[in-house]
Amino acid sequence: MVRTSQARRKRQPAAAHKTTLPARAPVQRVLVTGASGFVGRRVLASLRAQGTEVVAVSRRARRGQAAPGIIQVAADIAGDGWIEWAAGCTAAIHLVGIVREVPRQGMTFDGVHRVLTMRVVEACHRLGIRRLVHVSALGARSDGTTAYQRTKFVAEELVRSSGLRWTIFRPSMIFGPGDGFERSIVPVMRRLRVFPVFGDGQTKLQPVSVEEVARCLVAAVECEACESQIFDLGGPEALSYDEVLRRTARALGLRRRFVHLPVGLSRVLLAIAERLGAVSVTRDQLTMLLEGATCETGPTELAFGVPQQRYEGPVWLRSTCTEGGRVAGT
Ligand SMILES: NC(=O)c1ccc[n+]([C@@H]2O[C@H](COP(=O)([O-])OP(=O)(O)OC[C@H]3O[C@@H](n4cnc5c(N)ncnc54)[C@H](OP(=O)(O)O)[C@@H]3O)[C@@H](O)[C@H]2O)c1
């Protein structure tokens, strides 16, 4: 019996083995939350470049930022006002996230990561959106050492149990114009000739470019093989924090001396800075920095290709920089 069916199978022409399932219709309109952010802006550009319409939701959306093919919705995901605008979307990319709590403004990790992810999942069900690409972070885990990591993990759990066709990405440090380093480290590096480094500077990061992150997120929307999978996203090199700082200074044309501060002292200084409201880095961010953020990129490379762009510092700022941090022409 077995032999017969094997023989029969052998004789069948190759075409008979092709799947008879109809190909899924290409996604025409995508809901993007956190669209005004550093990653969101790139995701919008990538989606538009391939001709996909976008419904972009964020509180900072401005009419002036509207471009052909993009419906900008100025709304807090926590409310209901934006949902009707997302009608007709067949996929969603959920990017909303914070690295720092601002309880006075109602911005807590739980409120943003867990509650807003729950809102997005509910909205997807309400609107008939079946595909959800969710952005988490390396280090997300139930027993994480920071609330950021733990709430990112809870959000992942919500997505995994949503009944939607989901894909989760966990990026390492993302670099590109407007990145977190540019906003928090670069201004300090421009001011101080002797730059304090928290810890021994040997912790490892795997910076990945924002273009490559956006490319993966957008490709995942139509990738059936990527469903129900978590992809770590890291760049081509694992660099020590010292090396990241050296490359940052070099790109800015700055000569800086790096002085390493013991972790205990760093925490005390950051606690004081947090109290004074003069923080560019929080103690939780220091904890995560000291843990490092590197990953196995094998599965991600198989699905999306090998990441190419190395971190060479904020080279996009180079033309506007001179020693001492003055902007050229000022
Ligand atoms: N950048 C990195 O290195 C990195 C690394 C790992 C993971 N990630 C993750 O990647 C995602 C995107 O990061 P990013 O760097 O693009 O962050 P970002 O620049 O800070 O942008 C965050 C976005 O979230 C939105 N948002 C925050 N609270 C909101 C609320 N209550 N209602 C509506 N929108 C809200 C913000 O929009 P409005 O303020 O306009 O509302 C903004 O568009 C986040 O989930 C982050 O955790 C980033």
| Res 13 pLDDT > 80 | no
Report the predicted TM-score, pTM, of the whole model to 2 decimal places.
Answer: 0.89
Spatial distance between the Cα atoms of 139 and 171, rounded to a whole number of angstroms: 9
Domain assignment of residue 293, yes or no? no
Q: Count how many domains the chain has.
A: 1
**What is the band of 26 on the pLDDT scale with cuts at 50, 70, 90?**
low
**Ligand 1 centroid from CA 209, angstroms:** 16
Structure tokens at 182: 């540019």
Spatial distance between the Cα atoms of 326 and 311, rounded to a whole number of angstroms: 23
- Identify the CATH number of the domain in which residue 98 sits: 3.40.50.720
Lookup result for tokens 């997300």: 140
Residue 321: how many CB atoms within 10 A of its CB?
18
Residues β-bridged to residue 262 = none
Q: Tell me the per-residue pLDDT of 188-229, one tens digit each, with 9 for 90 and over.
A: 999 999 999 999 999 999 999 999 999 999 999 999 999 999
Give the pLDDT mean for 298-306. 95
Domain assignment of residue 192, yes or no? no
Domain assignment of residue 87, yes or no? yes
**Ligand 1 centroid from CA 36, angstroms:** 8
The Cα angle at residue 213 between residues 74 and 32, in degrees rounded to 5: 20
Nearest CA to ligand 1 atom 45: 97
Domain assignment of residue 67, yes or no? yes
Domain assignment of residue 237, yes or no? no
Give the pLDDT mean for 134-147. 98
Which residue type does 95 have? L
Give the pLDDT mean for 273-299. 88
Residue numbers of the domain that contains 125: 26-171
User: What is the pLDDT, as a whole number, of residue 296?
Assistant: 94
| Residue 224: exposure state from Cβ atoms within 10 A (0-12, 13-18, ≥19) | exposed
Please identify, by atom number, the ligand 1 atom nearest to the C-alpha of residue 35.
43
User: What is the pLDDT, as a whole number, of residue 3?
Assistant: 33
Give the pLDDT mean for 45-55. 95
Domain assignment of residue 150, yes or no? yes
**What is the band of 69 on the pLDDT scale with cuts at 50, 70, 90?**
very high
> What does the H/E/C string look like for 84-152?
HHHCCCCEEEECCCCCCCEHHHCECHHHHHHHHHHHHHHHHHHHCCCEEEEECCCCCCCCCCCHHHHHH
Domain assignment of residue 287, yes or no? no
User: What is the pLDDT, as a whole number, of residue 62?
Assistant: 67
Q: Tell me the per-residue pLDDT of 110-136, one tens digit each, with 9 for 90 and over.
A: 999 999 999 999 999 999 999 999 999
Domain assignment of residue 262, yes or no? no
Substitution candidate for ligand 1 out of 31, 33, 36 with most atoms within 8 A of CB: 36
Which residue in 99, 97, 96, 159 sits closest to 130, CA to CA? 159
